[in-house]
Amino acid sequence: MKAPAWSIEESADLYGIREWGHGYFDISRQGEVVVNLKDGKKSKAVSLASIVNGLRERGTQLPLLIRFGDLLRGRIDELNEGFASAIAEGKYQGVYRGVYPIKVNQQQEVIEEITRYGRKYHYGLEAGSKPELIAALAYMHDPQAYIVCNGYKDEEFIDLALYAQKMGLQVILVLEMPTELDLILERSKKMGVRPTLGVRFRLSAESAGHWSGSGGDSSVFGLNISQLMHVVDSLRDQGMLDCLRMLHYHQGSQIPNIRAIRQAVTEATRVYCGLVQEGARMGILDLGGGLAISYDGQKGASAASSNYGTKEYCADVIEAITEVTAEAGVPHPDIITESGRAIVAYYSVLVINILDINRFESRSDISEIQINKDSPALLRNLHELRVESTRNAAKTSRDRLQEIYNDAVYYRDKLRSEFNYGKVNLRERAHGEELYWDIMKWVSDMREKCEHDGSQMERLDTILTDYYYGNFSVFQSLPDLWAIDQIFPVMPIHRLKEKPTRNAVLSDITCDSDGKIDKFALADGISRSLPLHDPEIEKGHEYMLGIFLVGAYQETLGDLHNLLGDTNVVSVHIENGKVKYSELEGDSVSEVLTYVEYEPKDMVTRFRHLAENAVLTKRITANERREIMDVFEAGLRGYTYFES
């Protein structure tokens, strides 16, 4: 059957790719999702499907995480140039020195790229733990960039930071708890270093979004106003008030409303000015994270979006600080932000293939169902309802369509009840279900013709939604989707010149009821199903979906549910007009098993004993034993995901 007429513009509108894609992703004239990469100073659109097909030819299996260093560099440029423009326009006297929080994506490739490319902006790093500080010290050697040390600190953490400062790096130790001050001062005196100190303050300004609890009075981190003044007094008493250089606060990740950001900046600047007036040296104001991106493309103040862009964010920050410092007569501070999500979210795309589908569907020829006078009355009622409705389709009114829907629901529910009481046999129930599905499909097709909005037909959504089984694990690759209901854009990466004819929920391969995606960002809002094409798996075709904006947090938060490990990874860039790949193999079965304390060699030995006993008891032959062992050992070496 010929596919309905459809255009790439309609696909772009349906999936909202030009809203959440931020200019990085679009659809080609061939109906494939493309990513815009830099080839020198030129931009080149590269098809995701062509990337995957090229890797397939090289033996790489799906699922596949694709990283684009160009998009990471583009986000660093946008943030730093946004502040540079706002500083110039506002005649601001301080400078901007951003830092990247390592916890958002700790992969070595990310840290190396940020420190290398970000050097032209003196773009630094934020470390919230001892391992992160060690990573930062290995890669951040720019003496004009900051390394901001947050989190709880033991003696070894503090010593590392102080040694780095002694070697000429700009390391700031941020007080998260009042008790940290004594330990930092003790270690600094022993090492002969006057530390560069910051203090994290709990703002009273209310935040917004999913992570609003990260800031405000209820925050588990930072000092309240009384504790802050105690730090000032302690430093003054010890002649070290000049060591206090920075005020830091963190409002929360993904702040959707610019008004909340501006309120926090205003309050923090007033506190900063107060510290200057108390005699602290100061000079730096760290706004923490919070710069949001649009996961749903809606451009609103929802938790999955934002009602502002990078330029507005930068301009509002500069304006708010300028107003407060002018009133207080305090010099403009240098500004640090700890934007993480906004920097790396676009960097990675997860590509999965659909393995199978399950749908509520009657048999191809419903007339094959045998209904006679001995059939249960409810089954005859359903059959008569189907025949009558299709025969009189041209005369069906809006009210009559609702009656047909109501009758079908009643007969099907009653038939199920009678099955439970033993009055209907298994085959009769199956016939009833098929008739019901067929009637529901007919009702759905008739809604527009009868001008019925479907508002009183709540079961239609379930009946008309398929389950598409994707080759991935929500828990490994999209943990925030499972844990905090994060929205990620999902769409096909090919066949976008065809009209999608099915509505689907995506299930992963973990056999867990939570292992599914059933909330999708579409142009008209959040939907419980995703419009997709018939995958045509039975014809040997491969149907591929992209899950976008997964660069922040997902890689290192993932777990080993069902012992499904890391996916295959490839980094992609353009060089002299050609696509270049840098591949990393995902976890093998044996590697994942070692994570949970199995020893693969011991497992092979144990299984070999089982197989040998089977030979001795004549359950299998010696040749079969060899074949079985080959399969077992190949399984240990293999990918944890479905291999085609």
In order, the DSSP letters of 487-502 are: ---EEESS-TTS---E
DSSP state of 466: E
Let me know: does 151 contact 165? Beta carbons within 8 Å: no
Q: Which residue has the tokens 């010149």?
A: 497
Determine how many CB atoms are found less than 10 A away from the CB of residue 277: 12
Q: Which of 231, 314, 325, 335 is nearest to 269 (CA)?
A: 325
Whether the CB-CB separation of 124 and 97 falls below 8 Å is answered with: yes
Q: Which candidate, 502, 524, 510, 523, places its Cα nearest to that of 481?
A: 510
User: 406-420, 441-455, 599-613, 628-642 — which is least confidently predicted?
Assistant: 441-455
Q: Check if the beta carbon of residue 261 is closer than 8 Å to that of residue 212.
A: no
**Strand partners for 255:** 291
**pLDDT band, residue 366 (cuts 50/70/90):** confident
User: 205-219: per-residue pLDDT in tens?
Assistant: 766 655 555 555 656
DSSP 227: H
Fold classification of 366-461 is: Methane Monooxygenase Hydroxylase; Chain G, domain 1 (1.20.58)
The string of pLDDT tens digits covering residues 236-278 is: 999 999 999 999 999 988 999 999 999 999 999 999 999 999 9
**Residue spans of alpha helices (H) in 329-425:** 341-344, 377-391, 398-420
DSSP-derived letter for residue 103 is: G
Architecture of domain 72-345: Alpha-Beta Barrel (3.20)
Question: What DSSP element (H or E) covers 578?
Answer: strand 578-584
d(C-alpha 235, C-alpha 291), whole Å: 33
Provide the token pair at 364. Answer: 């191809």
What Rg value do the Cα atoms of the chain yield, rounded?
Answer: 30
3-state secondary structure of 193: coil
Question: For 314-323, what is each residue's pLDDT tens digit?
Answer: 999 999 999 9
Q: What is the pLDDT of residues 48-63, one digit of tens each?
A: 999 999 999 989 999 9
Peptide bond into 63 cis (omega under 30): yes
Structure tokens at 467: 């389950």
Residues 6+ apart with CB under 8 A from 520: 487, 490, 526, 527, 528, 529, 530
